[in-house]
Structure 1
Amino acid sequence: MYTPAATFRRTPAERADQQLAWDRSDQAFFAAGACHILAWAFAANRPTFQIVALRKVGEKHPSHVIATNGIWAFDHDGWTLESELMAMTAGFEPSTPWERFVVTEDLTTFCQNHDHRPPHLYAEDPRPRAVAYIATFPPTPLWSPQPQ
């Protein structure tokens, strides 16, 4: 079952101290604070996947970023059906509906436009850590959803 990214929100201390944020587990780090880095690293070699940002309806900036092919999503929790990811995210914070939007910008532009930290402003370069984390998961989902 999918664990919503908001479960791993950074504390005020982790927001203020990049080393403290860096020292969290890989899952916590890529759930809250570096999800966009993970999404771009994942999609880099997968042409059928696109970057999708999630935000509460009415908010300007997204709070989570995933890679998805429209059926499967990949983020801090590994492979998840996108429909399950969206349902669990909405269920975790049900007060406001969530929306998704496809990101067409590159990572640098996305960071500038959506209040996300660019790679060079982390305690260390998060891109190699993202590639290593991705390698801990199977290269494809272990099962296929049944047609409805």
Structure 2
Amino acid sequence: MYRLKPGIKKDMVRRWALPDRIFFGYGACHILAGVYLAEEPLTGFYAERIIPRGDAPGGHMYVTDGTVVFDYHGYSRRERLLAHHRKCWSTDCPGWDCDIETVDFPILGAHALNARKMLGPDQYLFDAVSRARAFIARIPHEDRSARLRQN
């Protein structure tokens, strides 16, 4: 699992300069999820959040149809993503645990995001929504998700 150097998330210029996968994996996953649902490259997906218990780090948002997920990794099986996330955070934070919740708020709404300690799409250095659209557009959605469903 990748770890950001201290201070990058608070430095808007350094944060924006991160490669897309790191940008969307470590602080802007909710923007990617919201844009995915708005663009709807595949139907039947909804957003879920990994919410660490207590004050632990490790929150994450992704979209899923219940079997397949899409996030900064691309497509994977839901149980694999959750197991990987749990393993990585448990290694760094012994006793780490989380809850999984279906997102029931406007994912791209700044007010709803700020209330949950996330930045709204217009609170990044540049246009995070356009960046997410470009990231999503590079992926062959049908092919990648179909391969996962065959296994």
Query: What is the TM-score normalised by the length of structure 2?
Result: 0.83
**2:86 equivalent to 1:82:** no
Match of 1:49 among 25, 45, 59: 45
Quick one: which amino acid aligns to residue 75 of structure 1? D
Match for 1:68: what amino acid?
T
| 1:4 corresponds to | none
Q: Cα deviation per residue 1:29-74 (whole Å; 9 max; x = unaligned)?
A: 0000110000011111335111111122345997111011111100
- The ranges of structure 1 where at least 4 consecutive aligned residues each deviate by more than 6 angstroms after the TM superposition are none
Q: What letter is aligned with 2:50?
A: L
Aligned length: 141
Indicate the residue corresponding to 1:38 in structure 2. 32
Q: Percent identity?
A: 26
The secondary structure found in structure 1 opposite 2:80 is helix
> For structure 1, which segment, 80-89 or 38-47, has the greater mean C-alpha deviation from structure 2 after superposition?
38-47
Kept in 2: contact 1:51–1:68 (CA 8 A): yes
Q: RMSD in angstroms over aligned alpha carbons?
A: 2.1
Q: Which stretch shifts more, 105-114 or 67-76?
A: 105-114
Structure 1 unaligned regions, length at least 5 = 1-6
Q: Secondary structure at the match of 1:14?
A: coil
**Deviation by residue 1:119-143 (Cα, 9 ceiling, x = unmatched):** 1111101001101001121122141
Give the Cα–Cα distance (whole angstroms) in 1 for the partners of residues 139 and 9 of structure 2.
27
Output the CA distance in 1 between the equivalents of 2:56 and 2:116.
8
1:78 & 1:110 partners in 2: Cα distance? 25
Deviation at 1:106, TM superposition (A): 0.3
The aligned amino acid for 2:60 is H
